[in-house]
Structure 1
């Protein structure tokens, strides 16, 4: 069987277009086809219009706009013959069996030998889809259920039919894992598979219980969100996000497909409020609002929530339920809390988790698949069986029995046990037969969480740890809140450099948090500024500069492996590494000006160096400085690793990993590649423009202020950036400057800005609201 190279997606709706975009993100040519609309002058208008929407979508479906060039558009009447060039044909058309089967008959005539066909359906049984088709077609057919938006949602549910060739499943799974970055969960051919069957049931029960128990939308979301390890949108915020109008259709199809004794079917109720909201255009964020809306009457922006009993909007209220202040580690405390929030949490979790237990053997073979599906399909921090472990398996089972629930077999099996355990340094999960089996990672995956189960850190403090990941490579991990960088981080990084010099071959900087690092700890900086501890602040800036320079010129390779946000000081770590191996979803940039500061740990220096020697950029003293000025003074953040390459935060030889689970293994491999014949980089020198350059930058910023595109303090901060990039008072195009000269300018301008009252206002506002202050 051949490799998968070219992909065809048929159906250019939101989902199909998103799948096509992600195939292009993975570097593959994609053929995107749809129908010819009646009376259309442009017969390809649907597919072409979809690509135009992809280029404007927010969040962006394309990891770089240039990827759209890999998508060829057409229609199924004129261009179906081009399907013969494709190795994988993904059908994403309307959920009607007759339309899908009619398409499959056409595909049968044109697909090449061995080409895989899959459907993105989640409502039509696989056996029905291939009924009447040839054995060869059925052998090469499966269901691949993507989650929306396909670029960002890491779950792919794969369903095998009775006739599907196992090699087809292997090929699709391997390609989707390595190239599309998906975590593959193999599901049984049951309605809704795993994630939607359980996830939609959870949403439905959460809504019914909130209405039945008289909770406000704010109270319900405060309870069923963060205290349960679920995103803070909770359930009503989530429905606004995905669209209220989708829910009745999904629920109806599930109820029609499931047996009458299924808890989903038994829970079915009429919800006139939601029907009325949809009829009036209140379909969520894509409509006029949903359970929450922004009222702009009278020029104001007032966030409102709907009253579930009256259907009227009123200003949002803060939940006063004490149960909503518990943390997920105190889950039993949450569900036994003596207020209506505790009752609500118990009712929702009792129904949801017991339903998850029912699905073992029904929708999936094991609990690990169900947990993975909910973690990645619905962004739960913990899967349902991990949550049961937090409640206590016996306690949960006893309380279910006490309240008249039917106890699923796996919960009876789990009595006296836990669903997960660590045995001899390995994570194991409980099987339906009552034994334990190791949680097996796909080949080539290294997880720091697994390494931690069987080893102790080499070094550790409150903000960072150092781990041996084998073959002479060590991994430096940030561990503070949001992986913010503080003096403890810098201290341990300094010790790490000394340890690696003596005993190891290479250093990888990586962690498994949501974000690589959000930058320096602003809270510490504000505290120091408020007590006028300027010496402490300057010492932290200087220490950071020294450590980052020590990283850059260490006698061993340093590879940074970011995922999520790598901002400010986190971005500067990347800029001082020998190589970067980034997850595709890395969002990085020097954002300090947003809080009234300038990059202080060598970021300005490195951006200046990279843009000044960029062969694709005009030569001369000012063009490189001007590009660095533009990126830094606008706090530009690359929205993907590909964009980070365009911004020169990443280099041409740096790697991009599509699958988050494979990032550490790829970074380690890159570090080992660099070990042989490793030499630290040569120290550069700079020729900077001096006063003429400073004046040019000042004029440019002044124009933006006059146009209202920049504020008064933006101009002050941008001028400080310009001062660094042009060499300060000593700047002169005839005089060479060293890295240390520019670092001194960074530190000097940082200290000038951190003392400025408008900067302190920005820092405080960011800490209080999480949003920049435009002063």
Structure 2
């Protein structure tokens, strides 16, 4: 590797600049954040300082831990520009005015370290304009790095290099952004709006025009253009509310100025008086008084309202009646206004996407990647074209008198993607198919599945051979909820690895690692009073997790997204963890009126007792665990999970989701030689009944202050009894199995209570906890 990036500078502390600085800090690197000195300011760095303070309060959180914020050094560009002289990469995120950027670049050129990378986060100004008149050394080190908002959560990074950019510098920035910042990189051509916004802005403007022309409501448009097309449920109008309606006219105007007269964007870029009126009156979306949707809080009640596009007045939001279509093609061919609308928006969007290759994107895969990553579409436009059939789509476009770009006409009768010899391929401009090549260090289960069959499989789990003697256990149930089939599969997998393989990784590519045990099954069993079955299923889960913990080979858990309840406990029982940075781990059982039943209590006590910073004695570790479990605390990131002890200091964190499986496999293989399972813990000096009483009094205190509910106290009592060792005396030594028995007994006591069953039922119905 050539250039190493160890320190970053960001100029411009607006939403994007500050968010980029926060993500660099999340990766553990120092970052300097500068902005202008506001006129008459006593504190000359007030803008950058204020931006960091604001980010610490933002939801969803920009920083993965509060400690990360300490890595951001703030200042201003009048006094502190020289502090960027030891930065390896300087990112400019100032106002979208060419002259302002040029003035700044000339000042930077005087102070920056030769060979340091310099990039702009612009989304509207071409690179050729930004580098115009700049010296050769500057042009060589310059590129565009277009982040998406919010930078912590949006995975897409569009990179544009110029004809003079040094390829090694561009590669170093791309590699750093991928591995260290967790971004998925798409290289774009130097064209207006690059790829994602060029297509996304056209799609949004087209959808608004077609909605008005068809006389549909905002709810109808969002229902048709949302889930059926693999678009987030915000659809188009909900997305505009989220982004800010007032941004639209500025973005559209800059696109209109930059695009050639022949571009199809000009046909849809029409003035919409209703939107002008909304902006003038402060109805700019979620940040304003409302947008196409709003929450009306009049009379102390919250009513969801939607804007009537005909009258411009709000009315109660309604759920539109859209005929259920079995697939995308039946939606766009339905002989209804909704079907005609769906076809017009989708067909014109795909056709427009086809005009962007090769002017904006080198191939169709780049276009699809940007829309999946930048707009959270489930399928890119060319994948959507394959669902309709290219020959059918071209024929319909011709029939409707719509433009058919050459790329689309040339593809007619062939699919844009295919699988050949286990490799996914895309159709190139040369008419040949080309392999989709993953970056080095990326291993995806979806790729393995193209050629392999699972080694083991049942209705809720599969086991895959991922090479080099390592198996991967994948949950496949709804929400990856843990049930008896997964528990059974754990046992079979342990036996198989013991006999024929070297190590096991527990991983999946679902949105969440696991939302915990299947509550529906637990409720069903409780409703028919099958207490013996519940007891058996808890005991079986405990034994399965112990089998993982004491297996004679390394077990590595690789969670991503939410790992809750039993999903957290499986992580706690692994020899090592490699977690995606965006992993939210927690023991949340108290929220549904029970306590962890698969070993979570004992595992957490062992971890807190091993912390040298915690005072010795029976109570400190137990009190910490009681606080974490009784409040159903969930870590807000993998780094936060370390602080809460859901992860150990030696567990790994991977920033890029696509690198998680490869990193976990490498960790497992590194542990194979000389591996020995851990020694079972012994719980000495447990606080016993007096400790349980102290914890119960604390819970009663919370209830007296109105923080805890009556059933919270009941759950806390059962939890306190398990955590303190039951009837144990201070001198007793409690075994791991005895701790598990205490957990199980407490769980079974609680599941027999009416308030717990009410909590479970309410959570299943609403997805929210019941406070009873």
Shorter-chain TM range is over 0.9
Give the match's secondary structure for 1:675.
coil
Per the alignment, residue 549 of structure 1 pairs with 546
Per the alignment, residue 706 of structure 2 pairs with 708
Per the alignment, residue 672 of structure 1 pairs with 669
Instruction: Give a deviation string over 1:242-285, Cα, whole Å, max 9, x none.
Output: 21122221111111211122111111122222222222222222
Question: How many Å separate the matches in 2 of 1:246 and 1:361?
Answer: 28
Instruction: Give a deviation string over 1:638-688, Cα, whole Å, max 9, x none.
Output: 010000100111011100001111000100010011111111001111132
Per the alignment, residue 187 of structure 1 pairs with 188
Instruction: Give a deviation string over 1:476-526, Cα, whole Å, max 9, x none.
Output: 011111111111111111110110000011000001111111111112222
* 549-558 or 739-748: bigger deviation: 739-748
Per the alignment, residue 528 of structure 1 pairs with 525
* 505-514 or 532-541: bigger deviation: 532-541
Cα contact 1:486–1:521 (8 A) shared by 2? yes
User: What are the residue-to-residue correspondences of 1:5-44 with 2, within 5 Å?
Assistant: 5-44=6-45
Question: How many Å separate the matches in 1 of 2:114 and 2:185?
Answer: 25
Which blocks of at least 5 consecutive residues in structure 2 are unaligned? Answer: none
Per the alignment, residue 278 of structure 1 pairs with 279
Question: How many Å separate the matches in 2 of 1:426 and 1:388?
Answer: 20
User: What are the residue-to-residue correspondences of 1:505-654 with 2, within 5 Å?
Assistant: 505-654=502-651
Q: Aligned pair count? A: 770
Question: How many Å separate the matches in 2 of 1:203 and 1:525?
Answer: 45
Give the match's secondary structure for 2:265.
helix
1:759 to 748, 756, 761: 756
Give the match's secondary structure for 1:85.
coil
Deviation at 1:540, TM superposition (A): 1.5
Deviation at 1:209, TM superposition (A): 1.7
Question: Hey, which bits of structure 1, 4+ residues long, moved more than 3 A?
Answer: none
User: What are the residue-to-residue correspondences of 1:307-346 with 2, within 5 Å?
Assistant: 307-322=308-323, 325-326=324-325, 330-346=327-343
Give the match's secondary structure for 1:428.
strand
Deviation at 1:342, TM superposition (A): 1.8
* 347-356 or 36-45: bigger deviation: 347-356
Cα contact 2:155–2:184 (8 A) shared by 1? yes
Which blocks of at least 5 consecutive residues in structure 1 are unaligned? Answer: none
Question: How many Å separate the matches in 2 of 1:774 and 1:342?
Answer: 44
Per the alignment, residue 217 of structure 2 pairs with 216
* 535-544 or 498-507: bigger deviation: 535-544
TM-score of the pair, normalised by structure 1: 0.98
Question: How many Å separate the matches in 2 of 1:717 and 1:283?
Answer: 45
Deviation at 1:314, TM superposition (A): 1.5
Per the alignment, residue 121 of structure 1 pairs with 122
Instruction: Give a deviation string over 1:125-171, Cα, whole Å, max 9, x none.
Output: 11111111001101110100000000111100000112111112111
1:339/1:763 CA distance change after superposition, 3 Å: farther
Deviation at 1:741, TM superposition (A): 0.9
Deviation at 1:554, TM superposition (A): 0.6
Question: How many Å separate the matches in 1 of 2:225 and 2:523?
Answer: 34
Question: How many Å separate the matches in 2 of 1:272 and 1:771?
Answer: 40
Give the match's secondary structure for 1:304.
strand
Per the alignment, residue 441 of structure 1 pairs with 438
Per the alignment, residue 298 of structure 1 pairs with 299
Deviation at 1:689, TM superposition (A): 1.0
Deviation at 1:43, TM superposition (A): 0.6
Cα contact 2:389–2:413 (8 A) shared by 1? no
Considering only aligned residues, what root-mean-square deviation do their CA atoms show, in Å? 1.1
* 267-276 or 100-109: bigger deviation: 267-276
Question: How many Å separate the matches in 2 of 1:208 and 1:599?
Answer: 53
TM-score of the pair, normalised by structure 2: 0.98
Question: How many Å separate the matches in 2 of 1:538 and 1:326?
Answer: 43
User: What are the residue-to-residue correspondences of 1:40-189 with 2, within 5 Å?
Assistant: 40-189=41-190
Give the match's secondary structure for 1:60.
coil
Deviation at 1:533, TM superposition (A): 2.3
Deviation at 1:530, TM superposition (A): 2.2
Question: How many Å separate the matches in 1 of 2:602 and 2:282?
Answer: 52
Question: How many Å separate the matches in 1 of 2:377 and 2:65?
Answer: 28
* 403-412 or 664-673: bigger deviation: 403-412
Give the match's secondary structure for 1:703.
helix
User: What are the residue-to-residue correspondences of 1:121-520 with 2, within 5 Å?
Assistant: 121-322=122-323, 325-326=324-325, 330-520=327-517
Deviation at 1:173, TM superposition (A): 0.6
Question: How many Å separate the matches in 2 of 1:267 and 1:105?
Answer: 39
Deviation at 1:594, TM superposition (A): 1.0
Give the match's secondary structure for 1:23.
helix
Question: How many Å separate the matches in 2 of 1:343 and 1:542?
Answer: 56
Deviation at 1:310, TM superposition (A): 1.2
Cα contact 1:413–1:432 (8 A) shared by 2? no
1:468/1:378 CA distance change after superposition, 3 Å: same
* 84-93 or 731-740: bigger deviation: 731-740
Give the match's secondary structure for 2:612.
coil
Deviation at 1:611, TM superposition (A): 1.1
1:750 to 730, 747, 750: 747
- The answer to whether residue 703 in structure 2 is matched with residue 684 in structure 1 is no
Give the match's secondary structure for 2:443.
coil
